[in-house]
Every structure is written in C-alpha cells, then in structure tokens.
Structure 1
Amino acid sequence: MNSTNEQAYAKVVENGVQAVEAVKELQITGYLADQIFVLAHEKDRTDRIADTADAKEIGIKEEGVFDSLANLFRSRGDELRAKIVSMGFTEAEADFYESELDKGKVLVIAKKKD
C-alpha cells in the first residue's frame, strides 16, 4: 500500500536495500534529503538505513516536543504509530504501516515542508 496526500508520500519496501533505492528515486524526483525519512521496527535498523540512504529519522522537529517525550513511555508499536501520524497520516494508515514494520519491512516517507 502506498499513500499519497498533499503533505506526505509513503512506500513500504521489503528491506534496507530497497529502502535505499526508494530514497534515491525520491531524490531524483526532486525531494531533498531533509524531506525523506525511513522507519523500521528496530531503532538501530532505522539508524543504519537512514545513514546508508542519506535520509532522516522522524524526530522532535517532525513530532513535536510533547509526542517526542511521550514516546519515551510508549511501546515501540505505539511509538511508531505516533511517528507515522506526526507525518500527516491517519490512525488507520499508521496501524497498517506499523503492522508492515512488524513483518520486517521498511517504510520510506517523503514530506514537503509546510
């Protein structure tokens, strides 16, 4: 499932190699490095893929201070869903994407600045 709205685009890929390819494709289409985010279920995997792909992780700037602090007390699944919602997706979309991350897949998100 891919989702496109005025604010964000998301693509679920099978692994880190495909995530790097998706990031490169987005850069070719005009997205800047600071507009492309990757998300995996495990934080260290997210870090590695973001570094390799020259993409960002969803952080305080995207989430806001309150959600970022709240994530310290959330389960990983709840944290991931909150991060996805902070990028402009609905709760239902966040549930779907988080379930895909549970399966070991990677989510690539591109979002133009507001």
Structure 2
Amino acid sequence: MTSQTLSGKKIGGGTLLLLAAGFTIWAAAFVALYAMQSVGCAYGWQELEILSGVTLQRLQMSAILTIHLGAIALLVRLLHNHRDQFLLRAAYWAALAALGASIFNFAPIFVLSPCT
C-alpha cells in the first residue's frame, strides 16, 4: 500500500478507508436488520414472546441494532482521540454522522410493528 505526504505527515490507504467506515457499518446494519426482519416474519417470531411483552423478533432486531451502534460508537471514540490530520478529522465527523443516521433511521424498530 502506498502512502502520500500531506503537510509532512504520511497518509496511508487505511486512513482513507476510515472515511467510509462509519457508513459501511450503517449499511451493514441496514442489510442485517432488513434481512432478519424478513426471516423473523417468515418464521412467525413476532408471535413468540420471550420476556414480558418483548417478542423474539423485537429482541433479535434490538440486539443487531445495539451491536452496530456499539461498533459505530467505538469508531467515533477511536477517531476522536486522533483528529490531528485532516482525513482523520473528516473520518471522525463522517462516523459521527453515521451514528446519528443510525439512531434516526433504526429507532423505529422499538415502536413499530415488525411484520404487517
């Protein structure tokens, strides 16, 4: 992997990949949630109550969302400590935007009916 110099600091290809990391995790959450919604609805998981009032469908979708939110939050935390380069600063803000987009886009799994 080659690297370029920007203001005397080396920037590797890995730094450039960090710019898309947050929304890559968001996309993985999007695919996983919709795939498991289809599987759960096909197998009737919305009718299997696990805890008081919590169905298997809502529980597994909440777990998927929690794992992905944790991954994006960890990325934001790691990038927050290393914002001295332009690309790392841009990656931090992109990851923060991905975290906000994830919360906004996927929060309805807690209140809407998973299957119609």
Q: TM-score range by the shorter chain?
A: under 0.3
Higher helix share: 2
Normalised to the residue count of structure 1, the TM-score between the two structures is 0.27
TM-score normalised to the size of structure 2? 0.26
In terms of fraction of residues, the more strand-rich structure is 1
Larger RCO (alpha carbons 8 Å, 6+ apart): 1
